[in-house]
Structure 1
Amino acid sequence: MTVATVPGRLHSWDISTGVDGPGTRFVAFLAGCPLRCLYCQNPDTWHMRDGTATTAGAVLRQVEQFASFVHVAGGGMTVSGGEPLLQPRFVEALFTGARGLGLPTALDTAGGLGARASEALLDVTDLVLLDVKAWDPARYRRLTGGEVAPTLAFARRLAARGTPIWVRYVLVPGLTDDPAEVDGVARFAAALGTVERVDVLPFHRLGAPKYERLGIPFPLLDTPPPDTALVDRVREQFRRTGLAAY
């Protein structure tokens, strides 16, 4: 099977600046995710069956149309989700093709399926945007329905390889704002040695209409976004460990 013929399930794609890695990015959103995060803004990406069947070659033909612009804008290609590591061979094919177009690559993942990422996939991954959703195992389980240990193991594996990491931490009042929780993530990230920055992402409810359309209750419909003071406090907690936080 050639790179071009590797099959996958694509939810959508977009051109993005500022939130999916350095510069302007071509972002491919893959379908399917094993987690059910209480704050998820994209329930329409949960099931692989709801994605469009495609091939790496078809996606890369789209990427090629924007490659010159993205390159000049200091960007690259990001594969996000859903959870892209549900489709590791597809991701590897996309990244191999992107590298062939001269574009740096970034993997946006929660890390729980990190064991599925082959060495070959990581060899064509220039940056990992790693969502560390919580520190305490019980809190992580309540928040996502999954386990935090595989994410931490994947982070250590990336660090051992020298792979650059951007940690992403979603700040939800009453769920992820506990100072001890933030300190746990911050200390872990600082010890890895390859974390280039931490993005503290304030919770919002912009995805609520998607839940309504799908007939699914949005668990955090009554949860307010964090105020500026709380966001500043959490960013400062990360900075105190020597990390750049935004």
Structure 2
Amino acid sequence: MDAAPLRPPSGAVTTAAAATRRPANGSLHSWDLSTGVDGPGTRFVAFLAGCPLRCLYCHNPDTMRMRAGRRTSADTLVAEAAKYRTFIAASGGGATLSGGEPLLQPVFAGELLHRFKHELGFHTALDTSGFLGARATDALLADTDLVLLDIKSWNRELYRRLTGQDLAPTLDFARRLADRGTTVRVRFVLVPGLTDAPENVAGVAAFAASLGNVEQVDILPFHRLGAAKWEALGKRFPLRHTPVPTEAETTAARAVFAGHGLRAV
């Protein structure tokens, strides 16, 4: 069954006991090695299965349901990552948890981050929408060197239309990360006719600039590369007729973030 509540819990668990209740297994969709898009250097990227959001432009719809993954032990995944330890270290890379939404499995995610960091000596990154940020324990965040935080829209109504969920938990999580001094890279998907409205881009930029811990903003141009995955699942890609942004439109969005004193790429 899918894991579930789609509402985030009311507060983060911070006790040492909770932090040590780690299961041996979790639901893994897949893993890969990547360079440049999932954090610095070459990364061992584990895609955990399951996500509470239903983004219209999702390019990995096959990761939405936890049951679509396979039960995998932390031992197995850490051992796999260890095979690339020398290569990853030489590139200044590390390990990234992505998805899906890793915080749908916060205890498994916490174990992996801890072991990647302390057993393998990896720089660690968490790729998240922030919607389930309240599930991230202080221990999990202490083992996270970088958070890749997707802020999909500043307009609340548009955010709900895009994802099926509320924006507020993501903003709360962003402020919590700022209070902790956790390094953040904000990710913003530029979708023509949806997220590209000047006031929407400016709203995300102003919020990110107010935090004080955002080292970079990644402007991600919308694409339709995941359409085949939607079709394979027997679904129609919701934004199949939406154009990709032009280079000029992407450059203009970067300029808005730069105008707020942020490094935008």
Match of 2:153 among 111, 131, 134: 134
Match of 2:81 among 48, 57, 63: 63
1:127 to 1:244, Cα distance in 2 relative to 1, 3 A: same
Match of 1:29 among 43, 47, 50: 47
Match of 2:236 among 197, 204, 217: 217
How many residues in Structure 1 have an aligned counterpart in Structure 2? 246
- 1:109 maps onto 2:128 in alignment: yes
- 1:47 maps onto 2:68 in alignment: no
* SS in structure 1 at match of 2:50: coil
Note if contact 1:4-1:55 (Cα within 8 Å) is conserved in structure 2.
no
* CA distance in structure 2 between the aligned counterparts of 1:2 and 1:169, rounded to whole angstroms: 34
TM-score, L = length of structure 2: 0.91
What corresponds to 1:243 in structure 2? 262
* CA distance in structure 2 between the aligned counterparts of 1:216 and 1:164, rounded to whole angstroms: 37
Aligned-residue RMSD, C-alpha: 1.3
In structure 2, the gaps of 5 or more residues are 1-18
In structure 1, the gaps of 5 or more residues are none
How far did residue 194 of structure 1 move? 0.3
What corresponds to 2:187 in structure 1? 168
**Sequence identity, in percent?**
61
Note if contact 1:60-1:98 (Cα within 8 Å) is conserved in structure 2.
yes
Residues 90-131 of structure 1: per-residue CA shift (max 9 Å, x gap): 111111111121101000000000000000100100000000
Note if contact 1:3-1:57 (Cα within 8 Å) is conserved in structure 2.
no
What corresponds to 2:25 in structure 1? 7
How far did residue 6 of structure 1 move? 2.3
Note if contact 1:21-1:78 (Cα within 8 Å) is conserved in structure 2.
yes
* CA distance in structure 2 between the aligned counterparts of 1:104 and 1:92, rounded to whole angstroms: 14
Residues 92-103 of structure 1 mapped to structure 2, 5 A cutoff: 92-99=110-117, 100-103=119-122
Residues 69-88 of structure 1 mapped to structure 2, 5 A cutoff: 69-88=87-106
Deviates more, 1:3-12 or 1:18-27: 3-12
* CA distance in structure 1 between the aligned counterparts of 2:127 and 2:155, rounded to whole angstroms: 22
How far did residue 206 of structure 1 move? 0.5
TM-score, L = length of structure 1: 0.98
Note if contact 1:7-1:55 (Cα within 8 Å) is conserved in structure 2.
yes
Note if contact 1:3-1:96 (Cα within 8 Å) is conserved in structure 2.
no
How far did residue 3 of structure 1 move? 8.8
Aligned partner of 2:95: which letter? M
Residues 213-235 of structure 1: per-residue CA shift (max 9 Å, x gap): 11111000010100011000000
What corresponds to 2:14 in structure 1? none
Segments ≥4 residues shifted beyond 6 Å? 1-4
* CA distance in structure 1 between the aligned counterparts of 2:77 and 2:122, rounded to whole angstroms: 14
Aligned partner of 1:137: which letter? R
Residues 51-78 of structure 1: per-residue CA shift (max 9 Å, x gap): 0101111100101001111011110000
How far did residue 2 of structure 1 move? 7.9
How far did residue 236 of structure 1 move? 0.2
Aligned partner of 1:162: which letter? G
What corresponds to 1:90 in structure 2? 108
Note if contact 2:191-2:244 (Cα within 8 Å) is conserved in structure 1.
yes
